[in-house]
Amino acid sequence: MIQIPKGTKDMLPSEAYLWHTVEDTAREVAKLYGFKEIRTPTFEHTELFARGVGDTSDIVTKEMYTFLDKGGRSITLRPEGTAGVARAFVENGLQGGALPFKAYYLISAFRYERPQAGRLREFHQFGAELYGAASPAADAEAILLAARFLRELQIDDCVELHLNSIGCKTCRARYGEALRAYFRPHIEEMCEDCRSRFEKNPLRILDCKNEHCKRFTAGAPCMLDYLCDDCRAHFEELKGLLEKAGLPYTVDPRIVRGLDYYSRTVFEFTTDLIGAQSTVLGGGRYDTLLEQMDAKPTPAVGFAAGLERLLLVMEAREVPLAERVPDVYIAGLDKESREQGLLLAEELREAGLITECDLMDRSLKAQFKYADKLGAEFVVVIGEAERAEGAAEVRHMRDSRSERVKFQEISQYIKGYYRRT
């Protein structure tokens, strides 16, 4: 048998409810903040990511799934959601519409990475994007949305918000020079990636995961000391807003984020419950992204969360999650009774009860065993006598009590039971 490609995973029906919990929570929380869903293509022109994500980012330099299509165009499976949303925002004329523009997405993304716990080649993200607002209030809203999402998932007590500002082009240029001066004496001993970052984008050196390089980055100059007055004021106001909203954070001058489009605010929610892949959600402001893509500049802020990592945290945290079990299993003793069962099942479903019936021509004993495995609350047994009488035995599985109930009253009977308990 052909096997699943490396770095990908099947979501099986037995774990679907876990994914639905995360996705439903994402949708509900986004809605509370007035964010509406956006869906963009799974693949885009390669150029979009090269420009949007930035050609010094890890994503563009080594992680993209790029291929030529039959028309000879270079196409890339999206490695993240922001660039596609930015393109759609501009291409659909939304830049001239009502602002702020607020959208969220639930997508799968593709990166050619070394697979490990919390790092896959196809993974899933919940992301939110807010265009048009340059104010620190917009950063605060994005961060508060992210925090509420994690709180609703019941993992807010094991994640920490880390916050930084990487300034604007002007202050970053000054900082870049300071970093080059600091790293120059060591750069020959650092990894190949860092040597190329040194020329193109020295800030990215701070994001190096190589243990040897980390030794040098520890004492590097701090971005916050190089912020211009405007960037500093923006950062101070944001911190003030988060404090007033009661959201704790740690200023972490080492966060630079992996994507090139960020400016000013960057943030991450991290956890120590799931090993090395500790960032569950990351985001920031990207006021120059649209410019970089040759569109009219519009300020923007957003974030993306990795759903696989969130599920790992929820598992580690033992967040109590229960799947809704079938309300009713209908057992049939003979062919006609099974037929009657199928029709009764339709009636019960009409009333909103999750209902299953025998499709396997099993013995009564085997049907009870299966109903038990499903965790069904009730089993309804139909045989020849029941059909003649127009009533069936309705058995409550947990307390093993059963009662005879007319077919047409079964849905009311079961709902009545739920109302009482």
* Site residues (vs ligand ATP, CB under 6 A): 80, 111, 113, 118-120, 123, 125, 258-259, 277, 279-282, 304-306, 308-309
Q: Which does 50 bind (CB under 5 to 8 A by kind): ligand ATP, Mg ion, none?
A: none
Q: Which does 309 bind (CB under 5 to 8 A by kind): ligand ATP, Mg ion, none?
A: ligand ATP
Q: Which does 120 bind (CB under 5 to 8 A by kind): ligand ATP, Mg ion, none?
A: ligand ATP
Which positions from 127 through 166 interact with Mg ion, judged by CB under 5 A?
none
Q: Which is nearer to ligand ATP, 115 or 375 (CB)?
A: 115
Q: What is the dihedral of CA 207, 210, 211, 215, to 10 degrees?
A: -50
Give me the DSSP letters along 233-247. Answer: HHHHHHHHHHHHTT-
Residue 298 · residue 132 · CB < 8 Å: yes
Q: Which is nearer to Mg ion, 258 or 326 (CB)?
A: 258
Q: Which does 56 bind (CB under 5 to 8 A by kind): ligand ATP, Mg ion, none?
A: none
Query: 196 — phi, psi (to 5°)?
Result: -75, -35
In angstroms, give the least distance from the CB of 152 to ligand ATP: 17
Q: Which is nearer to Mg ion, 164 or 279 (CB)?
A: 279
- Which among 310, 291, 252, 5 has a CA at the least distance from the CA of 127? 310
246 to 265: interface string for Mg ion, x by CB under 5 A = ------------x-------
Q: Which is nearer to ligand ATP, 158 or 380 (CB)?
A: 158
Q: Which does 261 bind (CB under 5 to 8 A by kind): ligand ATP, Mg ion, none?
A: none
Q: Which is nearer to Mg ion, 111 or 338 (CB)?
A: 111
In angstroms, give the least distance from the CB of 404 to ligand ATP: 54
- Environment class of 70 (CB within 10 Å of its CB; exposed 0-12, middle 13-18, buried 19+): exposed
Cα 361 to Cα 344: distance, rounded to the nearest angstrom: 17
Cα 377 to Cα 356: distance, rounded to the nearest angstrom: 11
Query: 265 — phi, psi (to 5°)?
Result: -65, 130
- Environment class of 64 (CB within 10 Å of its CB; exposed 0-12, middle 13-18, buried 19+): buried
In angstroms, give the least distance from the CB of 283 to ligand ATP: 7
Q: Which is nearer to ligand ATP, 119 or 362 (CB)?
A: 119
Cα 421 to Cα 415: distance, rounded to the nearest angstrom: 10
In angstroms, give the least distance from the CB of 182 to ligand ATP: 23
Q: Which does 255 bind (CB under 5 to 8 A by kind): ligand ATP, Mg ion, none?
A: none
In angstroms, give the least distance from the CB of 269 to ligand ATP: 8
Q: Which is nearer to ligand ATP, 118 or 299 (CB)?
A: 118
Residue 275 · residue 117 · CB < 8 Å: yes
Give me the DSSP letters along 32-66. Answer: HTT-EE----SEEEHHHHHHHT-TTSHIIIII-EE
Which residues in this chain contact Mg ion in the complex, by CB under 5 A? 258
